[in-house]
Amino acid sequence: MFKISEFSKLSQVPAKTLRFYDQLELLKPAYTDQQSGYRYYKSEQMLDLHRILAFKDLGYTLEQIKQLLNDNVSTAEIRGMLRLKQSDLHSLIQSEMERLRRIEVRLKQIERQSDGLSRYEVLVKKVEPLMVATLKETTSRASIPELFEEIDKYLKWNGIPLPVPHMVMWHGCPECESTIDLEIACPIPRKLQDTVRFQSKLLPDMTVASVTHMSRPDADTPVSIDLGSWIEENGYRISSEMPSREVYLSPQESNKLRYVTESQMPILGTGFMQ
């Protein structure tokens, strides 16, 4: 048998690491002297150590490796864990490739702009499901502030504390001068009693290209043009299944008609699809 210092030199694994593996019961010494506490290893334990290092190189945690090395784990279970890790790594690589491509597009934008700055910073993110109270209307954009006031009264009547963020979901063209199909929505903690004008529903999750900017809900903003250009340049597609959203987070202190606004465009694809 080998002393821990000898086994460490033979395996090129630090003695500190071997002691840690012992504490985790991942690789126990073949023998431990009860009086001195010295650890001794057999040469065949080198095979177990190499398996640990191999799984570690594949990205598994020590707890996962401990499970993999368990005698009760079947070959089918090990195969399943490896395939799951393979899928995770593919997703990670894809995500990092998308990030790299977005950086490349951003660098090209900076090179094209004289001041070196983009008007807006675009973020791709997942929007989680959200329970909302909604009010549908076919109207002009100028009437949106009045609709905000109407839904606020409904929320207040149902005991929902104000203020709450207002959301506009565009079922029609936001730039149209009149007869826009839109839906006002506000997040709520629970389902409310429906009326002729108001309904409660759960908005589905979706992936969006998002931009935060200052805007007025009753006036057009050019941000949708910039957002559309970014989506095209980065190889995404606009989803036709879900409406775009504008989330009016809070009014500006110096001008209550202007809001900190998040424009969300639902997108499909993973970017730079072939």
* Three-state secondary structure call for residue 14: coil
Q: How far is CA 80 from the centre of its chain?
A: 25
Asked whether residue 211 carries a pLDDT value surpassing 70, the answer given is: yes
Structure tokens at 166: 């207002």
pLDDT of residue 273: 45
Asked whether residue 117 carries a pLDDT value surpassing 70, the answer given is: no
Which range, 4-13, 99-108, 117-126, has the best average confidence (pLDDT)? 4-13
Burial 97-121, CB ≥16 within 10 A → b, else e = ebeebbeebbeebeeeeeeeeeeee
Q: Give the C-alpha separation, 90 to 69, whole Å.
A: 24
Which are the contacts of 245, defined by CB distance < 8 A and separation ≥ 6? 167, 168, 169, 170, 208, 263, 264
Structure tokens at 31: 């023998």
pLDDT of residue 1: 83
Q: Examine residue 274 and state whether it is found in any structural domain, yes or no.
A: no
Total domains in the fold of the chain: 3
- 57 and 80 fall within a common domain: no
- 144 and 173 fall within a common domain: yes
Q: Examine residue 166 and state whether it is found in any structural domain, yes or no.
A: yes
Torsion sign, CA atoms 158, 151, 213, 263: positive
Domain coverage including residue 45:
2-68
- 111 and 172 fall within a common domain: no
- 154 and 19 fall within a common domain: no
Asked whether residue 73 carries a pLDDT value surpassing 50, the answer given is: yes
Whole-structure pTM value: 0.58
- 111 and 245 fall within a common domain: no
Tens of pLDDT, residues 154-210: 999 999 998 899 999 998 766 555 678 999 999 999 999 999 999 999 999 999 999
Asked whether residue 272 carries a pLDDT value surpassing 80, the answer given is: no
Q: Examine residue 273 and state whether it is found in any structural domain, yes or no.
A: no
Exposure on the CB side of residue 104, measured as CA atoms within 13 A? 11
